[in-house]
Amino acid sequence: MKTKKMLLRVLAAVIAVVICVVVYVVAAQGSPGSSSDPLVTLSYVTDVLTPQLETYVDQKIAAESAKLQADFASKVSSFSYEIAQQGGYYSP
Domain with 51 in it:
40-92
Helix (H, G, I), strand (E, B) or coil at 33: coil
- Residues 60, 22 share a domain: no
Q: Quick one: which of 7, 31, 10, 30 has its CA closest to 18?
A: 10
What is this structure's pTM? 0.49
88 CA to centre of own chain: 54
Element (H, E) at 67: helix 50-85
pLDDT value of residue 88:
62
Q: How many domains are contained in the chain?
A: 2
Per-residue pLDDT of the chain (92 residues; tens, 9 = 90+): 678 888 888 899 999 999 998 888 777 676 666 666 677 888 888 999 999 999 999 999 999 999 999 999 999 999 888 888 887 665 55
- Residues 57, 31 share a domain: no
- Residues 87, 54 share a domain: yes
pLDDT value of residue 31:
65
